[in-house]
Amino acid sequence: MQSKFMELATSANALIAIGLALKVKLQAEPDDPALMDQVAQVVDALGLTKSMEALTKPQAATMLANIRGDLLLGVRVLCDDKTTSEWEHDQAELLQTFGEVSAGFPKVLKSKIGPELYGLLERLEKPGARFLDIGTGVAELSIAMVRQWPSLEVLGIEPWEPSLAIGFRNVTEAGLEEKIELRKSRAEALTEFDAFDLAWVPSAFIPSHSLPSVLERVSNALKAGGWLLLARPHHDSEPLARATAHFRTVLWGGGPLSCEDAEEHLNKAGLHDVRSVSMPPGAPIAVTIGRCK
């Protein structure tokens, strides 16, 4: 037990060092050169020096948000008296960080996923195109989608008031109040029909018992030919990676979801052309897609 603990503690500290290297890449000026010399040694020992140099700033920002989100949530659940799998967190920094994880997705959608989705990219360019952001949180994905496709109109659904309050502020600061509507509601209460060209459903934040009804409501809200993207944490067949992915999902309020289960859910929701799409190497999420006929 002690040797495994030390091995994992080393990995945790290495992750912190990578986070600091990413932070400096985004800020350009290191606060403490002596500390950053040690960070550079850790990155070099991991064999990541060239990979770190090759990262774009958006890639670095997404990776840093992932690291910060996991560490902030870990501190919260370890220090709180009550440990729960329900998403009841109200710490502004934690909520904002989780939102920033998704901000880089529109570029991946445009370059990697969109070309596989018949007609989607053309639809998103047209005036009147609409995007449904389920579990919008602090609205970072909604904002990033409008910045990627300026003609887009967005409805963000979010039941958690602390996240939504930050989301309203973020939308206002971005000057996108006319493009993004935020609504305090659960996805199961969605009443729109034939209204959206694209919908995003993050299964990791939706309880397993609610997911079928959410997907049914969202599929009904799609226009003919519209696409639904069902996201879940990515994992491979390695036992520890699979176990930790499932752990994170439950910690976030959702339930483990395999590729096969995701495809079955979308088929049962009445969608067509259901399949899981390839993602960039190392992507933290996997995406299963379905189209409204």
Structural domains of the chain, with CATH = 2-55 (no CATH), 102-291 (3.40.50.150)
pTM metric for this prediction: 0.91
| Residue keyed to tokens 């993602």 | 279
List, for residues 100-129, the tens digit of each pLDDT value: 999 989 999 999 999 989 999 999 999 999
pLDDT of residue 282: 67
pLDDT of residue 58: 87
Each as own residue / partner, the long-range contacts of residues 46-53 (CB below 8 Å, 24 or more positions apart, any chain) are: 46/14, 46/18, 48/18, 52/18, 52/21, 52/22, 52/25
Low-confidence ranges of the chain (pLDDT < 70): 28, 84-85, 236, 281-282
pLDDT of residue 283: 72
Give the CA angle between residues 12, 13, 19 to the nearest 5°.
Answer: 95
pLDDT of residue 82: 72
N- to C-terminal Cα separation, the chain: 54
What are the residues facing 184 on neighbouring strands?
158
| Residue keyed to tokens 């109109």 | 153
pLDDT of residue 97: 94
